Amino acid sequence: MSMDTDTDTDEGSIDSAPEPEVSVHQTRRLEEKEARRADRAAAEQAAAESLADEETVELKVFRYDPEVEGKEEPRFDTFEVPFHVGMTVLDALIYARDHYDSSLTFRHSCQQAICGSDALFVNGTQRLGCKTQLVDLDEPIRVEPLPHQEVVKDLVVDMEHFYDQMEAVEPYFDPDDLPDGELEEQRQSRQNREKIKTSTRCIWCGACMSSCNIAAGDNQYLGPAAINKAYRFAMDEREGEDRKRERMEIVEREHGVWRCQTQFSCTEVCPKDIPLTEHIQELKREAVKNNLKFW
């Protein structure tokens, strides 16, 4: 005797595992992540719209890096930098470096026109980046390294030769006699101080030497900065007579004061308003007087 058994299972149906439940904690985290993403997108959009509405300046910067493939050939990169009253060339370079290209290389330190490290060639003239106002320049603002100097990278030049020339005049105070008292100062007259005052302002920026056509063609020429430093000590009444004579012999040599052609280019670009050409001419007169002999 046979018995049929009924089954309720539908043919072709496949049992599937239940989907894992998403915890409330995970859901909250996803929502917070999406909210942060939306906030960032909104901030970037607002910044872009703000920059579009903001006044900007066009900065064309010399670029060169001999150690990186593809950057060995000199070129100019253009940066659009937000402008505000009081902004300097150095401010614009710092903005370009911090917001567009962190590899942009230039020297700067005090930002108060004292250290002399940020001397640049801006719109065809030697200037201090921290002292040059953007509002005084025509666009596009073209920033290059100092001419007649070997470029190390971007706006950085090798200053070693310039420092060697400065040291060549032995820029150290050397009196014949010191005061007797331990706490007694070495006195200088007010008139003499006024005479040499401007020569002491030199910040060793190298702008004057970069502007000098003679220095460009004569690598041994002392240059206006070094000669001015010699003037500072040679004209100081406290300087020893023997030392002054030795210093004058240095500046009277073939590549010293007599190479100057009185073009005034060094005086025009000096950021500290030192009358460099006048000082060179005065040393020439001093040299002539020292060499005059009556017999």
Q: Could you list the beta-strand ranges (E) of 71-182.
A: 75-82, 119-122, 125-128, 141-144, 151-153, 156-157
Q: Which helix (H) or strand (E) holds 19?
A: none
Q: Can you tell me the mean pLDDT for 60-89?
A: 93
Q: Is residue 6 part of a domain?
A: no
Which CATH number fits the domain that encloses residue 146? 3.10.20.30
215 and 120 in a common domain: no
CA 45 to CA 105: how far, in whole Å?
A: 29
118 and 82 in a common domain: yes
* pLDDT for position 52: 60
Q: Which domain holds residue 146?
A: 53-157
- pLDDT tens by residue, 31-63: 888 888 888 888 777 766 655 667 999 999 999
Band of residue 206 on the pLDDT scale cut at 50, 70, 90:
very high
168 and 74 in a common domain: no
Whole-number average pLDDT of the chain: 88
118 and 94 in a common domain: yes
106 and 194 in a common domain: no
* pLDDT for position 291: 79
| Sequence letter at residue 70 | G
127 and 61 in a common domain: yes
Q: Is residue 18 part of a domain?
A: no
Q: Is residue 36 part of a domain?
A: no
169 and 140 in a common domain: no
136 and 62 in a common domain: yes
Domains: count for the chain:
2
136 and 61 in a common domain: yes
Which CATH number fits the domain that encloses residue 247? 1.10.1060.10
Q: Which of 108, 241, 85 is nearest to 177 (CA)?
A: 241
Q: Is residue 240 part of a domain?
A: yes
State what percent of residues in the chain have pLDDT above 70: 89
For 208, which DSSP code?
A: H
Would you say residue 18 has pLDDT above 60?
no
